[in-house]
Amino acid sequence: MALCLLLATPVPAGAVEGSQAQTQTQATIEVSRSGTDARAEGLDFAISDFSRLNKGTNKEYEGAYFGYRYPMASEDAFAVVVIDEKTALAYLPQNALNRLAAQDPSQGFAILLNALDEKASHGGTMLTSMELAYEYTSERSVERGGYRYDFAVEVEPGHYYATVTKDGSTDGSAGALFCDTGRVIPAADVFIEQEPVGFAAFAEFFTSLDLRPFWVSLRTSAVAIIFVFVLGLLAAWWSQRMGTRLKGVLDSILTIPLVLPPTVCGFLLLVLFGNSTPVGRWLLAHGIELIFSWPAAVLAATVVSFPLMYRTARGAFEGLDPSLGDAARTLGWSEPRIFLRLTMPLVWPSIAAGTVLAFARAMGEFGATLFVAGNYPGVTQTMPIAIYFEWMGGHSDVATFWVLVVILFSFVVILFVNGYASHTQRYRRVSADETDAVVRTRREVTR
């Protein structure tokens, strides 16, 4: 990795290849389990309060534009702005330079920085994967390629930023890929908490695991499936008594959530029930806060899983012999009695399978739920939402655990549906065989 020095202050010269220096000290680097602190044997300084900022913000603050900005750890923190895939601008304040003393930044600072950046990249582009040339400076303002980079800019009281601006533009985001920040402190002041190994790691993982996403998913799906079951049956039963043309329109409306992307369903629900819409304002006026609440998660799960129940029930009703209902009516049976005593027992295997599939679909809902209910741990954070945010937060082990739980649950659902269908078919074959045997016996007796 080529290194060069930006002559802004008397930073020691004589840079060496960073990859060679990293190879020499790789075995001695210690990175904390949180990924915020690092130190290496032979260095009297360390990096603390590290964070990698993949995205900044371009918003104004109190009507003033400060540029595209990345938060810094503190006023005396360093900031490394990756300008492009070839250049990284490293701002080292004077206190950091004093701690580095005679140490060449390329032999110490860059090595610790690379180790921390690799841990915090979460699958993104790492410093070590690019052919970067580091430019070191302690000047608070540097211009490069038509952009101005300012450091330790106090935008809000007590909050400091590295900012990127371009003359004639109100968006400086194109001047940086990402930014790393932290503080250079004495190595003796850093405590490196080691990762547990073996059974200790296994025990710690499960004792610290937040199981609330599972219970939120289970509770949300259980309530949603009640609405789905009732509404799906009623809609399927009602559609059988409609004209062909109107039936086709209604069927398209009730089935469309099955083919729409979940995010589109969530957007439409937000447009319909948002706090600024007539329906949303009416709900608020009656003390009902729907959006970004647990009932909103139930609503999203109900909408996306409803078509599975509706289509399954409709197919089961259409498969019935109409003469059975006509025969029951000639015996004086009412419509509710026909539905409960005749229709439901005949279509129940299909209804049960549709219910289980709809429940599984509600458990796996992500896009619509995130749109209308948000991500609130213990309230609206379901397992799919937890998987996404745990992965984005760098907790890949937790995300993997929830992925395995969802896969296992899906496997059990499919196994149940297949087993139940197989049992039902076997029962029907036995019943048919018994019926044929009775008919043959009666014929023989008659003869």
- Residue 62 CA to residue 47 CA, distance in Å, equals 33
pTM: 0.61
Q: Taking the domains of the chain in order of start, what are their residue ranges?
A: 18-197, 208-438
DSSP per-residue codes, 369-402? HHHHH---TTTT--HHHHHHHHHHTT-HHHHHHH
CATH superfamily membership of 208-438? MetI-like (1.10.3720.10)
Give the pLDDT confidence score for residue 217 in this predicted structure: 94
pLDDT at 428 over 60: no
Identify the residue with better confidence: 6 or 171: 171
Residues of the chain by 3-state class (helix, strand, coil), percent to 5: 55, 15, 30
- Residue 433 CA to residue 441 CA, distance in Å, equals 12
Give the pLDDT confidence score for residue 438 in this predicted structure: 42
Confidence category of residue 3, pLDDT binned at 50, 70, 90: very low
Strands 87-91 and 133-137: parallel
pLDDT at 411 over 70: yes
Cβ contact 99:9 at 8 Å: no
Cβ contact 150:141 at 8 Å: yes
> Tens digit of pLDDT for each residue in 77-87?
999 999 998 99
Give the pLDDT confidence score for residue 104 in this predicted structure: 62
- Residue 217 CA to residue 364 CA, distance in Å, equals 8
Residue 40 backbone dihedrals phi, psi, to 5 degrees: -140, 150
Give the pLDDT confidence score for residue 147 in this predicted structure: 94
> Tens digit of pLDDT for each residue in 235-294?
988 888 777 778 788 888 899 998 899 999 999 999 999 888 888 889 888 888 888 999
Which residues does 106 contact at the CB level (< 8 Å), separation at least 6? 3, 15, 16, 17, 18, 21, 134
Strands 147-156 and 159-166: antiparallel
Spell out where 249-325 has E strands. Answer: none
- Residue 367 CA to residue 266 CA, distance in Å, equals 7
**DSSP secondary-structure letter at 57?**
B
**Locate tokens 């750890």: which residue?**
73
- Residue 132 CA to residue 412 CA, distance in Å, equals 50
Torsion (CA) 126, 128, 134, 136 in degrees, nearest 10: 70
Cβ contact 236:314 at 8 Å: yes
- Nearest CA-CA partner of 53 in 189, 160, 142: 160
SS3 118: helix
> Tens digit of pLDDT for each residue in 293-344?
999 999 999 999 999 999 999 888 888 887 887 888 888 888 888 888 888 8
- Residue 380 CA to residue 373 CA, distance in Å, equals 6
Give the pLDDT confidence score for residue 14 in this predicted structure: 32
What is the strand order of the sheet 45-53 is part of?
A: 29-31, 38-40, 45-53, 178-186, 78-82, 87-91, 133-137
Give the pLDDT confidence score for residue 61 in this predicted structure: 87
- Count of helices and strands (H, E) across the chain: 15, 11
Per the prediction, the chain carries an average pLDDT of 83
Q: Please state, in angstroms and as integers, the Cα–Cα distance from residue 267 to each residue in 221, 270, 360, following that order.
A: 20, 5, 22
Both tokens assigned to 382: 């379901």
- Of the ranges 104-108, 131-135, 216-220, 351-355, the best mean pLDDT one: 216-220
Identify the residue with better confidence: 26 or 136: 136
- Residue 252 CA to residue 245 CA, distance in Å, equals 11
Tell me how many degrees the CA angle 353-355-361 measures, rounded to the nearest 5.
Answer: 105
DSSP per-residue codes, 346-374? HHHHHHHHHHHHHHHHHHT--HHHHHHH-
Give the pLDDT confidence score for residue 25 in this predicted structure: 44
Give the pLDDT confidence score for residue 160 in this predicted structure: 95
Both tokens assigned to 330: 């000639």
- Residue 49 CA to residue 30 CA, distance in Å, equals 15
Which residues does 385 contact at the CB level (< 8 Å), separation at least 6? 213, 366, 369, 370, 375
- Residue 433 CA to residue 438 CA, distance in Å, equals 9
Confidence category of residue 191, pLDDT binned at 50, 70, 90: confident
pLDDT at 59 over 60: yes
Identity at 242, one-letter amino acid code: M
Both tokens assigned to 263: 């995010």
- Nearest CA-CA partner of 93 in 183, 187, 177, 161: 183
- The percent of residues above 70 in pLDDT, for the chain, comes to 86
Average pLDDT over residues 393-398: 81
